[in-house]
Amino acid sequence: MKVIVRKVGETLSVYIPKKDLEANVIATDPDHVFGGTIEIQGGMKLYIEPMEETPKLPLTMNAKKVA
């Protein structure tokens, strides 16, 4: 699914257009890279391909829902 990742202040936020849902990122695994498994408010977990450096945001990316 397509998601839009943006930074609001010091917090990362994810917008899922298909569900018209925007939520803050509350946890990431691993911590030292951008991406990986992220948990957003409400408990949904998504997987975004990890990147060594944080890209310029906002950015549209592909994500997979993690069970």
Judge contact between 50 and 42, C-beta under 8 A. no
pTM: 0.88
| Domain ranges across the chain | 2-66
Q: Would you call 18 helix, strand, or coil by DSSP?
A: helix
Question: What does CATH list as the number for 2-66?
Answer: 2.40.50.240
d(CA 47, CA 24): 15
Place of tokens 């391909």: 49
Tell whether the model's pLDDT for residue 3 goes beyond 90.
Answer: yes
DSSP 54: P
pLDDT digits (tens, 9 = 90+) for 12-46: 999 999 999 999 999 999 888 899 999 999 999 99
Indicate the pLDDT class of residue 61, thresholds 50, 70 and 90. very high
Q: How many residues does the chain have?
A: 67
Tell whether the model's pLDDT for residue 67 goes beyond 90.
Answer: no
pLDDT digits (tens, 9 = 90+) for 4-14: 999 989 899 99
Quick count: other Cβ atoms within 10 Å of Cβ 24? 12
